[in-house]
Structure 1
């Protein structure tokens, strides 16, 4: 059977690191307050002249090198982001140019923290139906530019970076087993950026009203995230007649340590099967799962034949899961 198989991973983050102690000098917070509530100790912040495409390109180069795939062999480039370089053109088109991926169709998708899994779902479908054989899927964000650095409840949460995978058509039992994506727009106001779209265009009033920044109702998002991520994890397992005991590594969206711990407990997963790097990167939205995947892959945490489960939840509201058998 031909499946969509991840053959290369890559990631990139800014050099600048902002610790909780640095935040103490910027806003009314403390390392203890942030760590206790989120599990985050530090995050990477983009500098001048660094953009979403900067990190997307670097992550892509690492994934292509690992896969042994040339950029001009790619059929598609999919970039999942809510912080594109521009409203248009798509950041994926800029990445295509940077890579010289001459024949790749390039486009962005906006599904917030679930974006990378939405991208994998699209890549899986394109490969299964024979429309493509080599696809680059990237999750990339520079969230620091839409964070309100005077709001201690949100500014401590987010970081910048990118993760990428090369997905190829391969015969065999390894690869993506199934993808599951969902959304519920009735909750859109719980997690959003109200300004800079055509509903609230960029004006002095938009800036004064702080509509350009991330707005989040954290407690409500927490409750919905835990329930949705648990349900979509079981959906993936049930679809493939597998159980939680079959999972070798669970890589959830790295949003908040309390959310990750709650999901792990509800699923009955042993702690050593849950991959967490949140403390060093914060919430990088669509970049968090591919960034964690690349780290786990390059450190030897993933072995050939391992069963991996990805699980995410984000603004929209959106959520999803991907179940795959690892091959490298």
Structure 2
């Protein structure tokens, strides 16, 4: 589905990476042995990543990313946030999500608070669509969007998980963006393209060696696993879906993929990054990522990398910026475009 957007745009970005970075040498010293393939250019783990620690709350990460952003913008969030959208991979609280505690920490009381849980690694684009819908309906003028990845330090660092391939590439972090109606600076939202594929929703999930549900007590370690029977299909689908949506978005918005100045995606591994830009014929220098510094940031990868690019001057006025990603085993995917 494509969504044309009202006059709304990103006027500020921010990020927060918890604690000191953990180098790959930390794992090698702890007994990790890399195969010759794992040492190669496509399969080697990221050199660094950040991990949350026990007691770190997702709302705290959002606070540390958002408040400096509002300070830079010279805005009081209590007066300028009507809609708060959060996506947190591992919510701190079982029933309430992270939105309410985030609002409390920021000292805001938005008209609407939504925890957008199902968007996963494509949730940044999904929240752009929701923000544009609310602004277009006159229900919001200022929107705070926040993505948090916090499973690396809480699930993947546990004994029994630490040296697994998906654990080694995962990092924790938070990315935020502030959108405003009628924004004349920053990134003007041109359009959003989304696709739901519900049949793949159960191809990934929480799993234990003894088969217990995640809420049941037991000695086994909780992990995240793909259905091994469809792993090949999942990889092929992930390789295909992101370029498809980018091309569809380009057609809807009237631009050529060749004209994209900055392409930012979720960053599961180096292979997906390579395959996506190869399929779209986008040079590596235009496909921005923070994988080697921060690892797989899941849903937070797009806003963290966007803020990094803006801060480093990798995005200039007039640039066409496209962000995209797919979630979980592909049950949701999305792309969006901005004119900076």
Aligned to 2:225: 215
* Between 34-43 and 235-244, the greater mean CA deviation after superposition: 34-43
Matched, 1:123 2:131: yes
TM-score by length of 2: 0.87
**In structure 2, what is the Cα distance between the partners aligned to 1:128 and 1:322?**
17
Gaps (5+ residues) in structure 1?
none
Q: Is 1:15 equivalent to 2:19 in the alignment?
A: yes
Aligned residues: 320
State the match for 2:178 in structure 1: 166
Secondary structure of the equivalent of 1:159? coil
The question of 1:146 aligning with 2:155 is answered yes
Tell whether the 8 Å contact from 2:207 to 2:214 is kept in structure 1 after alignment.
Answer: no
Contact 1:9 1:62 in 2 (8 A): no
Task: Tell me the alpha carbon deviations over residues 250-293 of structure 1, each in whole angstroms, 9 at most, x when there is no partner.
Answer: 01112111111111011011222110210111111111100000
**Residue 324 (structure 1) aligns with:** 338
Match of 2:326 in 1: 313
TM-score, normalised by the number of residues in structure 1: 0.90
**Alpha-carbon RMSD:** 2.3
Q: Equivalent residue for 1:5?
A: 9
Tell me by how many angstroms 1:151 deviates. Answer: 4.8
> How far apart, in 1, do the equivalents of 2:288 and 2:126 lie?
20
Alpha carbons of structure 1 residues 130 and 271: separation in structure 2 relative to 1, 3 Å: same
Out of 69, 91, 95, the residue aligned to residue 88 of structure 1 is 95
- The 1:31–1:40 alpha-carbon spacing in structure 2 relative to 1, beyond 3 Å, is farther
For 1:137-286, what aligned pairs fall within 5 Å after superposition? 137-144=145-152, 145-147=154-156, 149-170=161-182, 175-194=188-207, 200-205=213-218, 207-208=219-220, 210=221, 212-216=222-226, 219-286=232-299
Q: Which moved more, 1:95-104 or 1:274-283?
A: 95-104
User: Is 1:50 paired with 2:56?
Assistant: yes
Offset at 1:220? 4.1
For 2:305, which of 276, 292, 296 is the aligned residue?
292
| Cα distance in structure 1, aligned partners of 2:214 and 2:155 | 15
Cα distance between partner residues in 2 of 1:194 and 1:77 = 31
Relative to structure 1, the CA distance from residue 241 to residue 41 in structure 2 (aligned partners, 3 Å threshold; closer, same or farther) is same
Return the offset for 1:45: 0.6
- Cα pair 1:143 1:284 within 8 Å, conserved: no
Unaligned runs of 5+ in 2: none
Asked if 2 retains the 8 angstrom alpha-carbon contact of 1:184 and 1:318, the reply is yes
C-alpha contact (below 8 Å) 1:27/1:152 kept by paired residues: no
In 1, Cα distance between equivalents of 2:237 and 2:45: 19
